[in-house]
Amino acid sequence: MSTAHNAGQNGSFEHRSFPDRSFRDLCAAHGIAVTHQRQVLFEVMQSIPGHPSPEEVYDRVQARIPSISLATVYKNIHLFIASGLFREVSLHHGSLRVEMNDRPHHHMVCTRCKAIYDLDEEQLGDMPQPHRLPNGFVAERYSVDVLGRCAACQDAEPSSAE
């Protein structure tokens, strides 16, 4: 099941990640307080297929809580990420990064300081060969991000999100 991120599809809870636990339990498990806005935000995010921007989420949440603030949306998205409920899709957003290396290679990205290191193809190991993919997608090449901690960030706190 592959889902186009930019196409509006079945808007239902087909992507729901935690179908059997109440939001209340989830919050307890992750040590965060239950609030109405958090619950609505969580439900709305789960109901949107793909990877909506904070603005899109904000718009949808406003339909149910007209008084909600954009800052609240951001704060809680970060809280959800920090507590492990969600993850960031791409860690190198935030500023333009340029590729000057011509050789085939991949990247190691530090989840804390966002530094990006090159990793030669052979240092990674054998990748599965591109073969039949869903939706008639034809692969040209793989780009792998190895997400983790660089030496300097090994023992530090998780990225500060409030």
Could you say which residues in the range 21-60 bind DNA, by CB under 7 A? 27, 32-38, 53-55
Give the one residue of 8, 67, 101, 157 binding a second copy; rule: CB under 8 A: 101
Asked if 67 is part of the footprint of a second copy (rule: CB under 8 A), the reply reads: no
Q: Which residues of 107-129 are buried (b: 16+ CB within 10 A; e: fewer)?
A: bbbbebebebeebeeeeeeeeee
How far apart are alpha carbons 59 and 122 in whole angstroms? 45
Which of 99, 80, 6, 114 is closest to 50 using CA atoms? Answer: 6
Residue 156's binding partner out of DNA, a second copy, none, with CB under 5 to 8 Å set by partner kind = none
Q: Among residues 23, 62, 70, 145, which is the contact residue for a second copy, using CB under 8 A?
A: 145
Q: Which is nearer to a second copy, 31 or 125 (CB)?
A: 125
Give residues 73-92 in contact with a second copy (rule: CB under 8 A): 74, 77, 80-81, 86-90, 92
Residue range at the interface with a second copy (CB under 8 A); choices 23-31, 32-40, 62-70, 129-137: 129-137
DSSP state of 130: P
Sequence-distant (6+) residues with CB within 8 A of 56 are 48
β-strands 105-110, 116-120 pairing: antiparallel
Q: State phi, psi for 147 to the nearest 5 degrees.
A: -95, 135
For the segment 62-81, give every residue that binds DNA (CB under 7 A): 65, 67-72, 74-76, 78-79
- 98 binding a second copy? (CB under 8 A): yes
Task: Give the residue, chosen from 31, 100, 157, 160, that forms a contact with a second copy under the rule CB under 8 A.
Answer: 100
